[in-house]
Each structure stands twice: as structure tokens, then as C-alpha cells.
Amino acid sequence: MNTQPEVLEAVIIRFVGDSGDGMQLTGTQFSGTSAMFGNDVATFPNYPAEIRAPQGSLYGVSGFQVHIGSVEISTPGDEVDLLVAMNPAGLKTNLHAVKPGHTIIVDTDSFSKKNLDKAQYATNPLEDGSLDNYRVIEVAMTSLTKEALKDIEGLDNKSITRTKNMFALGMVYWMYDRTLDHTINFFKTKFKSKPRIIEANTKVLNTGFYYAETLELIPNSYVISPAKMNAGTYRIIMGNTAIAWGFLAAAEKTGLDLFLGSYPITPASDILHELAKHKHFGVKALQAEDEIAGITSAIGASFAGDLAITTTSGPGLALKGEALGLAMMIEMPLVVVNVQRGGPSTGLPTKTEQSDLLQAMYGRNGESPVIVIAAGSPASCFDFAYEACRLTLEHMTPVVLLSDGYIANGSGPWKIRTVDEMPDIKNHILTKAYDEWHPYDRDEDTLARKWAIPGTPGLEHRVGGLEKDKVSGNVSYVPENHEYMIKIRAEKIQRVQNNIPDLDIEFAQEGDLLVIGWGGTYGSLHSAVKQMSEQGFDNVGFAHFNYLNPMPKNTRDVLERFKKVVVCELNNGQFAHILRSYFPNIEIDQFNKIQGLPFNNSELTQKFKQMIA
């Protein structure tokens, strides 16, 4: 065995097995340990919609891909360097992703005739030569786990076999020169009232680590040095957690109480779970009986002076549509988070998609414009949750914040900041009445109306879904008043352009092709255009939209700098449709993927090269 570790710039690892094999925990622990070491990290959890799919079935496979490096990592990667397969189904559904000549670790104990049949293998792939193009490391993980724990009393067979994922993790820790400390500390915190579980998991983790060290089939270990990152303190963070923390930061910055009215729905529920932990920060978290109750409770909290949030996914946004129109009509601050998933209807609850853009823009009756923004990465979910609060408070109108299943459940490094480092947030709260006050007095710059909190003497007024008089706030059916109010609410949204940054262009500032994306595709598109730039294609630019309604002021100027424009999105061309409607004289091409999966580099670069050939 070569005792000198091989130095790598980056590596892509995928853990796969049954949904009960602990693959999400295994991947999370490896990515967390790597982040603590200083690597740049991007992850991609992928799991079935069923709570517990039939064991050993092809559609019950749960996976977790992690990409770590000593260089900038912006995506979980395409083909994997190491596949850890805990059963035949995991191997069969993921073999296509393994680079030829690279490594597969399998638990041979799971390759029984019964499991092979479930995975629709006619013959055992470990014996029939079908894996000859890969370096296969066969390990009887289940048997070795049982042997390691035979002396620990009080553990049943189920508890013992559930720790086999730690054997696999221990092996991978040794292969990539990781410390065990982070995971052992996790055991001590997670299972502090269950000392036997701590002992069992720790022992199996160590057993896997030292087994890999002595295994002749593993020629050497690998080293991925820490990445060079901007100075500061970092932690790895998931997108949903980052959204929750962004809201906490905004509430702390403004001094407002944070109210969340929400109904659990995949993949947005973790935001509710996270915020419910922080009552000590003044958070009021209400798990409502349905989607409509979630948003209407938030509207009520906003009327009472709270920073109000509601969270959902695509089907829930449809149910919230009427109430969102009400919030727009009464001109109250409200943030609606939509973590997009595969649709329509129930669709693909655990898979990613960007197919709710048109619903966010137009999915309400009447002329009902709202601000729409989108986060681009797990870490940027924090920034855009904070930004959503800033915009809704400064402009007194609802904001829809779009995320998606990919960045919501994915993770990456996030630089920790203090509240003092965050941008200031203004609001329009009136603490007392003034002479000649009217409910629809407006700010000259933003057209935002004043936030008159109930109970403040002299600020009594009506709100509701019926049209209001432009001054008094009384119900009005006057035709000219209705048209005026429609146009003033639309103009208020357009003036948000004065309060958002211009659209940036990365790589070529003008040239043959402009690649456009929005929301959670940032990492994939940036990585693909960067790869082309490094290959000498210096005529390709990249512009990514986080502000969708309104768009940045300089959007037309950016589009006109390039001969061709292609919009890449995980839907059937919704943003391309919007751009064509705004800029009909500019030819807009589109490249779409609707498979519940993010873009990969190879398909993107192939498309871009075809367009500039």
C-alpha cells in the first residue's frame, strides 16, 4: 500500500442506500466535517417522496452527493469519484453517474438473491463482470458492524444494523483524511440521553476508519487542502435554515416581533421547524390548520405591527393566492416563501423545479402585482430572506421569495455576520397621528403608505379587500378612483427598481452569447460558463437574475450587448416568456430541463458551444 496520500483539488462522493439506511445523515456528517476542515462544499440530497419506501426497491433509494474542494465549489458536481452503495438498488440507480475507472464501495451482505431481484438484476453485478470498468471495494459492512458491537449489551438487531452507515462513513473519513471528532461530538449531543447508542455509533465509526486503513484494496488515501476563502468565520448551512436565520436577522435589525403563520409542506417545512426553536428571539410560530389560515394569520399579524412571514411550496401558493391578493390590496408588509418543487398538483414533492414563477408573478385575480425575488444558493437564502424583509417593509407591499428544493435542502459554506453588518431597514410605522393624516398618505419616493398600527390614537382606519378611496381609505366604487388605485399600486412596484442593484455581467461583458439564469440555477450556470471561459471561450457572458419583478433597470442594456441570448431554467421556459414580453425586439432562446434534477455541466456547455459554433 502506498503510504503517501495523493493530493486532489476536489472530489465528488455519493452515498446511496435505502431510505432507512441513514444516507442523509452520512452525507451531512461528511460535508459538515469537510466544511470544518476548511474545504469549500456543495451538497445535493436526493430522496424518495414516500416516508419509507419498500425496502430494497429501485424507487426507494435515498442518496446524498457532496462535492468538496480546495478551490471554489459552486455545484454538487456531475459524475462522481466515489460511490458508496449500501444495497443493489442503490448501485443500479446510480452506477451511470460514476466516472469510469473510479471507486465503488459496496456492502456485500446486502447483495442477496432477494435484494438482487428487487433491484431487477438477473445476475449479481459483483460476479458477472459488469463492473470491470470500475475499482470495486467489496466490504461485508453489516457483518463487520455486528461483530464490532457483539459485546455491547442491550442493543437489538435493528439498532445494531442501523449503525452500518457509520462503518461506511468511517471508511470514507480515512480515505479522504478526515477527523472523526466532528461526528463523535454530534453523537454525544444527539444521543446524550442514550449512552449505548453513542457507544455503538462511535465504535462502528472507528471500526470502519481502521478497517479502511488496513484494507489492501484501497491503494492510498487522499488529501484535499482547505480552500482559500475570504476572511471570516464560516459554517455549513442548508438553504431552509438560512432563510429562517435571515428572517431572524431582519427582525433583530428592525426591532419588530417575527410572526410565522405556516402549514407544513415539503420541501418548505424545515423553515417552520427552525423558527419554532427560537421563541427566545421573540418569534411567534403558528402551525396553522391549512395554507389559507397560515397566510391570513400572517396578514393579521402584519396589521398588528409584526414582521409577518408565511411559507409554502407550489400547491400551497395556489391556495394562498386570494389572501396574497388581499395583502397587496391593503398594502401591508408580508413575505411569502415558496420553496418550489416538481409540479403540477402533488407532482414530485421531494424533487426540484422552477415552475412556479408565472404563478408567483400573476397567480391572483385582477391587477395584483407583487415584488418577486429569488435566492441563488443555500448561503444566499439568508441574504434574500433578509432582503425580502427589507423590501416589504420599505415598500409596504407583499414580497414573494422563491427558493427551490435543490438549494433548500442543499448546503454550502456561509459566512457568519453580526446584525450590525447587515444593511439598514427602514419602515413606515406611525407612532402617533399628525394633522390631516389619511390612511393612504404616500411616501413621495416609494409611494408606500404609512403603517398605522391598531390601538394608536387618531390612526383608526379600515382595511379589507374592497377598493378604497385614494385618500380617506373608505370603501369606494368610483370608477376613476379604482383606476387610479390600480395604477398607483402598479407604479409602486415599478419604483422598487430604484431600491435594487443593477444586473451584473460575469465573464465576457459583451460578445456572442449571454447565458441567463435565475434563482437556484446560479451555481450550475456559473460553473458551466466558467469552464468555457477557462477553455478559451472569451465571448460568453453570464447574467443571473435574483430580482424578477421588477427586473433591474439595466436589463435591456445587458441583453443588447450580446448577439445571442439563452435563458436556462428548470421549467418549460417561463422566464424566457417574460423576457420576450418585455423585450420583443430581442431574440431570446431557451434551454430547459424538467426532470426534478439540477442542470449538469456537460449538458450546459454542449448547448452553449452549439449556439456559438
**Residues facing 262 on adjacent strands:** 287
Output the pLDDT for position 3. 64
Could you tell me how many residues make up the chain?
613
**Last residue within a domain, chosen from 421, 445, 473:** 421
Cα-Cα-Cα-Cα dihedral of 584, 585, 587, 593, to 10°?
-20
**Last residue within a domain, chosen from 163, 189, 223:** 223
Contact 12, 176 (CB under 8 A): no
Judge whether 577 lies within some domain. yes
The CATH number given to whatever domain includes residue 293 is 3.40.50.970
Q: What is the DSSP string of 554-569?
A: THHHHHTTEEEEEEEE
Contact 353, 594 (CB under 8 A): yes
| Same domain membership, residue 595 and residue 450 | no
What SS3 state is found at 278?
A: coil
| Same domain membership, residue 181 and residue 312 | no
Q: What nine digits make up the cell of 234?
A: 464560516
Nearest to 363 by CA among 394, 333, 340, 396: 340
Would you give the DSSP letter of residue 597? S
The CATH number given to whatever domain includes residue 565 is 3.40.50.920
Q: What nine digits make up the cell of 108?
A: 456485500
Burial classification of residue 322, based on how many CB atoms lie within 10 Å of its CB (0-12 exposed, 13-18 middle, 19 or more buried): middle
Nearest to 381 by CA among 333, 324, 320, 337: 337
The CATH number given to whatever domain includes residue 10 is 3.40.920.10
CA distance 216 to 126: 18
Q: What nine digits make up the cell of 293?
A: 389560515
Output the pLDDT for position 320. 99
Q: What is the mean pLDDT of each run of 10 residues along the chain (613 residues)?
A: 80 95 96 94 90 86 97 94 98 97 97 96 96 96 96 89 97 96 96 94 97 84 90 92 98 98 97 97 97 98 98 98 98 99 96 98 98 98 99 99 97 93 96 91 97 94 94 96 98 98 98 98 98 96 99 98 99 99 98 97 97 93
| Same domain membership, residue 175 and residue 55 | yes
| Same domain membership, residue 18 and residue 62 | yes
What SS3 state is found at 466?
A: coil
CA distance 132 to 430: 73
**Residues facing 543 on adjacent strands:** 516
Q: What is the DSSP string of 118-135?
A: HTT-SS-TTTSSTTTTSE
pTM, 2 dp: 0.94
**Residues facing 7 on adjacent strands:** 223
Burial classification of residue 419, based on how many CB atoms lie within 10 Å of its CB (0-12 exposed, 13-18 middle, 19 or more buried): exposed
Give alpha helix (H) positions in 119-192: 141-148, 157-161, 164-175, 181-190
Contacts of 183 (CB under 8 A, 6+ apart): 29, 33, 166, 169, 173, 205
Amino acid at 494: Q
Judge whether 560 lies within some domain. yes
Residues 491-527: pLDDT tens digits?
999 999 999 999 999 999 999 999 999 999 999 999 9
Burial classification of residue 232, based on how many CB atoms lie within 10 Å of its CB (0-12 exposed, 13-18 middle, 19 or more buried): exposed
Per the structure, how many domains does the chain have?
4
Q: What nine digits make up the cell of 267?
A: 420541501
Contact 64, 45 (CB under 8 A): yes
Nearest to 548 by CA among 513, 510, 514, 516: 516
| Same domain membership, residue 393 and residue 338 | yes
CA distance 189 to 222: 29
Residue 507 CA to chain centroid, in angstroms?
A: 25
| Same domain membership, residue 168 and residue 21 | yes
| Same domain membership, residue 219 and residue 85 | yes
What is the DSSP pairing of strand 61-69 with strand 10-18?
Answer: antiparallel
Q: What nine digits make up the cell of 278?
A: 427560537
| Same domain membership, residue 212 and residue 133 | yes
Output the pLDDT for position 48. 87
Count of helices and strands (H, E) across the chain: 20, 24
CA distance 293 to 612: 51
**Residues facing 467 on adjacent strands:** none
Nearest to 410 by CA among 88, 42, 54, 136: 42
Burial classification of residue 561, based on how many CB atoms lie within 10 Å of its CB (0-12 exposed, 13-18 middle, 19 or more buried): middle
CA distance 417 to 422: 8
CA distance 353 to 342: 5
Q: Sign of torsion, CA 511 353 389 359? A: positive
Tally Cβ neighbours within 10 Å of residue 197.
Answer: 19
| Same domain membership, residue 606 and residue 528 | yes
Burial classification of residue 520, based on how many CB atoms lie within 10 Å of its CB (0-12 exposed, 13-18 middle, 19 or more buried): buried
Output the pLDDT for position 88. 98
| Same domain membership, residue 335 and residue 308 | yes
| Same domain membership, residue 304 and residue 415 | yes
Judge whether 402 lies within some domain. yes
Quote the domain boundaries for residue 385: 235-421
| Same domain membership, residue 510 and residue 495 | no
Helix H or strand E encompassing 431: none
CA distance 308 to 200: 44
Judge whether 1 lies within some domain. no
CA distance 534 to 546: 25
Judge whether 377 lies within some domain. yes
**Last residue within a domain, chosen from 396, 421, 446:** 421
Judge whether 229 lies within some domain. no
